[in-house]
């Protein structure tokens, strides 16, 4: 067996210092422009730029909620409100003694973090516009509390904003302070976006079922993101209060909420640079078109509609010129099973998954009716039967998506709890799906790296600050993903967006994602659907090699030839019951199987 010791690189990706510089060039230009703006000595332009930086501090965190996690949080202006009044009230001594202004700003961030989680908790149950209405409702509540709590907020009259001392005093000193905090917010959110946590957020947004199968726990991750987004929103509120000099409840308008939300959407989901530019454009636009300010909501809506119709991917897609390059035609998928020992590691301990007496009913339909099934390590176990016989339902029970009425599920003698799909990855149980579940806007490499999320050791804070353990995680996971892609024959497409791939290639991407988990058990749901005869032959060789490396493989498939060519054992289901079980030769000659499924 050939052993490859040289690193496997993503095809078409820029490498070396030139490639890294190219990726950072836009940020370098924006940074230089921000640093040089005071040279114009235009205080009005400086005020507009300062406001843009403050808005971006909030939007940077909101971008993780909206752009990465896909949550429709329209009323995030409430974090600005809370941060502004907290910072102003503490700095002015309206609640106890006067606080140092920088400490008051941190307290504003703390209050924003707490209420960010409070506002975000409904996202664990509510989706789409229901969650949007929750955030808008909270924004209204925050404004009404500011009106009513006159001793602290000044009510409708308002309260003075905090003043930062030298060297960040009002004017260009405060401008540089906001510029610095915007840069820090960008760095933090960019670190999260390019980490396993960022990839997990995008997976939750676009392929939640696959995210759970990869071991991603949605509640915990969303709480962390809302915590960070709320903190950044609260800090932005403290800066906003200082810029305004005097704050009243009517400073926090619905139009401001729309600005933050639309700025992210027109910037492009899953991007940091695009939403930053979108927020900058929408901040400057009303100043350029001042006579149309009363039409601002209409203009925002028109701009959003234009982006959706003309550039659905937003500004980020315009900047992503690499993925507009044509791909090579007539591509072939040539797996390399010889790499499997490096991908899977030591699989000497053979896993046994046992289902006993499984019964699952949907109303009056008996989807599974008393199923007994054993899946052994080192074997390919085929699961076949007519449509509606319970094959995929069985996979969903093992995967934790369904809880049966009766029965047990054990792995190597230990009970595996039902209805906890994200726990399966910890038991090294991986799967693919009937319809490929991938993140179309992410690269092929990033999709495969999602499969190894549970192997990371760095905490959220370590990823946020790009500490050594986070960087080690990323390097190890990237190498493992490239190795898995080479194993399935797709390493040349690693840097390509997944939505540009052919259907057959997406099938192999899913297998690569599963392999990164180093599975003890791999469940494949109709992996040959839509493949050519030659691709099916190569797929069969790869599956066989995976099982021979020690992995237990459960294969649901309608291509009978593939089942009988590579399976060690076959179970036939019909109407939720086992019709027959045995070797491929025994199943071929089973009279009832031939009559019910295989045909004459």
pLDDT tens-place string over residues 162-203:
999 989 989 899 999 999 999 999 999 999 999 999 999 999
Q: Please, which pLDDT band fits residue 387 given cuts at 50, 70 and 90?
A: confident
Highest mean pLDDT: which range of 145-154, 247-256, 339-348, 515-524: 515-524
Q: Pairing between strand 352-362 and 365-376?
A: antiparallel
Mean pLDDT score of the chain: 89
**Percent of the chain's residues with pLDDT above 70:** 93
Using one digit for the tens of pLDDT, what is the confidence trace for 351-383?
899 999 999 998 888 899 999 999 999 999 999
Distance CA 89, CA 206 (A): 41
Residue 210 · residue 124 · CB < 8 Å: no
What per-residue confidence (pLDDT) applies to 1? 35
Element (H, E) at 366: strand 365-376
Fold of 337-439+520-598: Rossmann fold (3.40.50)
Task: Give SS3 for 292.
Answer: helix
325 or 525, which is more confident?
525
CA distance 583 to 599: 18
pLDDT at site 599 = 62
525-563 as b/e: b if 16+ CB within 10 A: bbbbbebeeebbebbbebbbbbbebbbbbbbbbebbebb
**Do the Cβ atoms of 593 and 583 come closer than 8 Å?**
no
What are residue 170's phi and psi, to 5 degrees? -55, 145
- pLDDT over 90 at 304, yes or no: no
Q: What is the mean pLDDT of residues 312-335?
A: 83
Q: What is the pLDDT of residue 329?
A: 85
Please, where in the chain does CATH 3.40.50.300 lie? 337-439+520-598
Give the distance, in angstroms, between the CA of residue 458 and the centroid of all CA atoms in the same chain. 17
> Do the Cβ atoms of 380 and 544 come closer than 8 Å?
yes
Q: What is the pLDDT of residues 457-472, one digit of tens each?
A: 999 999 999 999 999 9
Q: Which of 494, 474, 473, 543 is nearest to 515 (CA)?
A: 543
Query: Which residue, among 288, 283, 317, 282, has the nearest Cα to 300 in the 3D structure?
Result: 282
Which range is least confidently modeled, 298-307, 334-343, 442-451?
298-307
pLDDT at 506 over 80: yes
Q: Which has the higher per-residue pLDDT, 5 or 280? A: 280
Indicate if the pLDDT at residue 2 is higher than 80.
no
pLDDT at residue 596, as a whole number: 67
If we measure between CA atoms, which residue out of 286, 324, 349, 343 comes closest to residue 47? 286
What confidence tens digit (pLDDT) does each residue in 391-406 have? 999 999 999 999 999 9
Q: What was the pLDDT predicted at 69?
A: 92
Higher pLDDT, 105 or 3: 105
Confidence grade of residue 475 (pLDDT, cut at 50, 70, 90): very high
Choice between 441 and 224, residue whose per-residue pLDDT is larger: 224
| Span 63-90, pLDDT tens digits | 999 999 999 898 999 999 999 999 999 9
Q: Give the separation between CA 151 and CA 89, rounded to whole angstroms.
A: 10
pLDDT at 525 over 80: yes
Q: Which of 3-17, 46-60, 116-130 has the lowest mean pLDDT?
A: 3-17
Neighbours of 418 (CB within 10 A): 18
Which backbone phi and psi does 528 adopt, to 5 degrees?
A: -90, -5
Over residues 9-28, mean pLDDT:
59
pLDDT at 107 (0 to 100): 97
Neighbours of 125 (CB within 10 A): 9
Q: Which of 9-18, 124-133, 210-219 has the highest mean pLDDT?
A: 210-219
Band of the pLDDT at 539, cuts 50, 70, 90?
Answer: very high
Give the per-residue pLDDT at 12: 44
Which pLDDT score is estimated for 21?
A: 55
Beta bridge partners of 525: 556
Q: Is the pLDDT of residue 307 over 50?
A: yes
* In contact, 404 and 478? CB cutoff 8 Å: no
Inform me whether the pLDDT recorded for 581 exceeds 50. yes
Encode pLDDT of 86-141 as tens digits.
Answer: 999 999 988 889 999 999 999 999 999 999 999 998 888 877 788 888 999 999 99
Q: Are 232 and 58 in contact (CB under 8 A)?
A: yes
Q: What mean pLDDT do residues 414-422 have?
A: 89
Residue 163, phi then psi, degrees to nearest 5: -115, 125
Phi, psi of 418 (to 5 degrees): -80, 165
pLDDT on residue 26: 79
Residues 6+ apart with CB under 8 A from 97: none
Q: What is the pLDDT of residue 594?
A: 81
Q: Can you give the pLDDT at residue 346?
A: 76
Residue 109 in contact with residue 76, Cβ under 8 Å? no
Per-residue pLDDT, averaged over 4-12, amounts to 51
Give the residue-averaged pLDDT of 439-447.
94
Is a pLDDT exceeding 70 seen at residue 255? yes
337-370 in b/e burial notation, b at 16+ Cβ within 10 A?
bebbebbbeebeeebebbbeebebeeeeebbbbe
Q: Which residue has the higher pLDDT, 395 or 590?
A: 395
């Amino acid at each position: 067996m050939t052993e490859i010791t040289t690193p496997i690189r993503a095809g078409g990706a820029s490498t070396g210092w030139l490639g890294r510089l190219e990726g950072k060039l836009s940020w370098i230009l924006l940074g230089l422009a921000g640093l040089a703006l005071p040279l114009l000595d235009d205080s009005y332009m400086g005020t507009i730029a300062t406001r843009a930086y403050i808005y971006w501090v909030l939007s940077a965190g909101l971008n993780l909620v909206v752009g990465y996690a896909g949550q429709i949080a329209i009323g995030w202006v409430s974090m600005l409100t809370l941060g502004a009044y907290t910072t102003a009230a503490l700095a002015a001594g309206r609640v106890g003694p006067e606080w140092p202004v920088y400490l008051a700003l941190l307290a504003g961030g703390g209050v924003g973090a707490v209420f960010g989680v409070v506002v975000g908790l409904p996202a664990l149950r509510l989706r789409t516009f229901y969650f949007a209405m929750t955030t808008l409702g909270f924004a209204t509540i925050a404004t009404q509390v500011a009106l009513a709590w006159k001793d602290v907020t000044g009510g409708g009259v308002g309260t003075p904003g905090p003043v930062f001392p030298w060297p960040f005093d009002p004017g260009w000193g405060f401008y540089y302070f906001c510029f610095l905090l915007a840069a820090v917010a960008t760095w933090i959110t960019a670190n999260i976006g390019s980490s396993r946590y960022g990839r997990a957020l995008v997976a939750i947004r676009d392929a939640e079922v696959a995210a759970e199968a990869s071991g991603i726990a949605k509640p915990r991750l969303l709480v962390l993101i809302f915590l960070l987004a709320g903190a950044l929103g609260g800090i932005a509120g403290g800066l906003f209060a200082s810029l305004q000099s005097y704050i009243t409840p009517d400073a926090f308008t619905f139009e401001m909420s729309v600005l933050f939300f639309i700025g992210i959407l027109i910037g492009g989901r899953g991007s940091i640079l695009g939403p930053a530019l979108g927020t900058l454009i929408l901040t400057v636009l009303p100043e350029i078109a001042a006579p149309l300010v009363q039409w601002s909501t209409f203009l925002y809506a028109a701009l959003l509609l234009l982006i959706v119709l003309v550039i659905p991917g937003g500004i980020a897609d315009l900047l992503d010129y690499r993925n507009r390059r044509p791909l090579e035609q007539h591509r072939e998928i040539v797996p390399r099973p010889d790499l499997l020992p490096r991908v899977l590691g030591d699989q000497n301990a053979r896993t046994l998954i046992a289902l006993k007496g499984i019964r699952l009913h949907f109303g009056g339909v008996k989807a599974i009716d008393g199923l007994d099934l054993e899946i052994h390590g080192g074997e390919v176990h085929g699961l076949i039967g007519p449509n509606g016989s319970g094959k995929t339902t069985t996979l969903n029970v093992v995967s934790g998506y369904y809880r049966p009425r009766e029965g047990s599920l054990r792995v190597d003698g230990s009970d595996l709890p039902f209805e906890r799909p994200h726990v399966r990855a910890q038991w090294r149980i991986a799967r693919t799906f009937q319809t490929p579940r991938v993140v179309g806007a992410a690269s092929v490499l990033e999709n495969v790296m999602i499969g190894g999320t549970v192997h990371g050791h760095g905490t959220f804070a370590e990823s946020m600050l790009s500490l050594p353990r986070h960087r080690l995680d990323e390097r190890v996971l990237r190498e493992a993903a490239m190795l898995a892609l080479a194993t399935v024959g797709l390493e040349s497409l690693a840097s390509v967006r997944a939505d540009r791939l052919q259907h057959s290639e997406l099938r192999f991407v899913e297998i690569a994602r599963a392999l990164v988990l180093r599975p003890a058990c791999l469940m494949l749901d109709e992996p040959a659907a839509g493949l050519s005869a030659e691709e099916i032959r190569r797929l069969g060789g790869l599956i066989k090699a995976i099982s021979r490396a020690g992995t237990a493989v459960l294969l649901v498939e309608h291509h009978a030839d593939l089942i009988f060519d590579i399976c060690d054992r076959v179970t036939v289901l019909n109407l939720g019951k086992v019709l027959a079980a045995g070797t491929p030769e025994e199943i071929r000659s089973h009279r009832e199987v031939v009559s019910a499924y295989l045909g004459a």
